[in-house]
Structures are given as structure tokens and as C-alpha cells.
Amino acid sequence: MFRFFPQKEKYQRSTTFNFNPQGPIPQHVAIIMDGNGRWAQNRRLPRVAGHKEGMNNVKKITKQASRLGIKVLTLYAFSTENWKRPTDEVNFLMQLPVDFFDTFVPELIAENVKVSVMGGIEFLPDHTQKAVYDAMEQTKDNTGMVLNFALNYGSRAEVLAAVKSVATKVQAGDVTVAEIDDDLFSNELMTGFLAPELRDPELLIRTSGEERISNFLLWQIAYSELHFSPAFWPDFDEDHLLAALGDFQQRNRRFGGLNKEETK
């Protein structure tokens, strides 16, 4: 019969997440911004009010992440599955980037933050596309944190597109099967524009208490630390981010190997 034996105390991870300013800071943090609609419904407001408040919260978290020294902040803004939502809600979501970048780009420039957007941008409404491309153009010379939005993004579609791209190169004779490795494949993904050491998030945060990945960065999070916050995204404030980073700092990242204590 299988029996469960509790871990020894020295391997147990604390449930109190105290952030250490001198501790390690993840270079790439990805966030699934979940719970906008429920935040609004709990206040007897329309769902779109939650999306608006959620976008306002992006501004606060972006500034804090930049000042903490995070190099890439990837935010799951709109998935390929979100088109299934009511038309009025989708239309509102497609207007949000216009309003967001119109007011926030000057602040991003002041913070030296560079905007990037990955996903099926070509399938977005014209006004949304224009807002996205204008923001990227206006911040292209910034050298600080990359604020990377996943907009009309789905990881399975991303991986399939990468597979097709590699297959096409093999068929054309530009790449041999033997040359296909992690680095080559990662170059074909939508995060391929990032430096190799920044492509894979070290920390993935999901808000609202849900504990699933929802088709987000499936290849890239192979060794990411996961943090699930009970707070709805509009309530996920600076203290919540510090708690998530404190949780990260307590993790023992072995990447499939053993640390020194475990080999004794």
C-alpha cells in the first residue's frame, strides 16, 4: 500500500511570503490578469467596469515592476478564446488599448519602458492595431523594462506556427532535422525577439484564485515558478506583487537536478 510521508522540515516551504529587497528578482515575470469581470459583478457593476479598472491597475504594476528591476513583464491581455465573449464586451476590450496607450505612453517613456505586443495583431480591429503599433514605435528607443502584452494570443497556435515554420525551413533545405533543438525552436516562438536569457518567465502569476494556465506560454513556462493569488486583478496591488516575489525568493529552483543539501 502506498503511504505518504511528510517532508522533513528543512524541505518545507514557508507560506509567509516576505519580500527581501536584497534577494533575487526574476528577470521575466508573466501575469495572467484574471478576475476583472468577477470584481465588477461583486460590486454590482457591469463587467466592462472591471476591465477598465484592470487596465488602470496595469499602470501601477508596470511602474512597480520596472522600479524593482524586472526586465520583462508579459501580461496576458486577450486570448484567442476571448472572442467567444459577448460582442459588446469584446468591443470594449478592443477599445481599451486605444485609451490605455493614449494616456500611458508618456509615462512609459518617462519610466524608460519599452512596449511590445505579441499575438495575432493582424486580426485586431484597425483602431486597436494602430494604437498598438503607435505605442511600440513611440517607445522603441527605451532601454529599460519590456512591457510585453499578449494580445489575441494563444500558446497552442503559437507552437503550431513555430512547428510549421521549422518544417518549412527543413523542406527548403535551410535547416536539417539534426539542427532542431531548444534554441532553434525558441527562436520561432513569439518571444523569440527577446534575448535568450529573457524568453522564459522565471515567475508566472495568476490572479483571482484560479489555478490553471489557460493556453499561456506553454513552451516558455516549462521551468517557471507558479504563484496563484486569490486577489482579483483590479485588487492585485503593489503589496500582492511583493508577496509573489517573496514567494519566488523562497523557491528552491533545481531544474530537475539536486541542490547541495539533497546530495548529502
The pLDDT tens digits of the residues spanning 42-94 come to 999 999 999 999 999 999 999 999 999 999 999 999 999 999 999 999 999 99
Of 20, 56, 57, 82, the catalytic one is: 82
As a whole number, the mean pLDDT across the chain is 92
Question: Is 181 inside a domain boundary?
Answer: no
34 is catalytic: yes
DSSP class of 95: H
Contact predicate 185/159, CB 8 Å: no
Residue 3, domain member (yes or no)? no
- Is residue 174 situated within a structural domain? no
> Does residue 104 belong to any structural domain of this protein?
yes
Determine the Cα–Cα distance for residues 32 and 212; give it in Å rounded to an integer: 10
Residue-wise pLDDT for 111-163, tens only, equals 999 999 999 999 999 999 999 999 999 999 999 999 999 999 999 999 999 99
Give percent of the chain above pLDDT 90. Answer: 89
User: What pLDDT was estimated at residue 253?
Assistant: 79
The CA distance from 43 to 50, in Å, is: 9
Whether 81 maps to a domain, the answer reads yes
Residue type, 66: S
Residue 5: which residues within 8 A CB-CB, separation 6 or more? none
Annotated catalytic residue: which of 34, 36, 148, 247?
Answer: 34
Q: Listing from the earlier edge strand, what are the strands of the sheet with 225-228?
A: 114-118, 146-153, 72-79, 28-32, 203-206, 225-228
Domain that holds residue 136: 24-45+56-153+201-247
Instruction: For residue 126, indicate whether it is catalytic.
Output: no
84 inside domain? yes
pTM as predicted: 0.90
Asked if the structure places residue 8 within a domain, the reply is no
In a domain, 96, yes or no: yes
Total structural domains within the chain = 1
Whichever domain contains 106, its CATH number is 3.40.1180.10
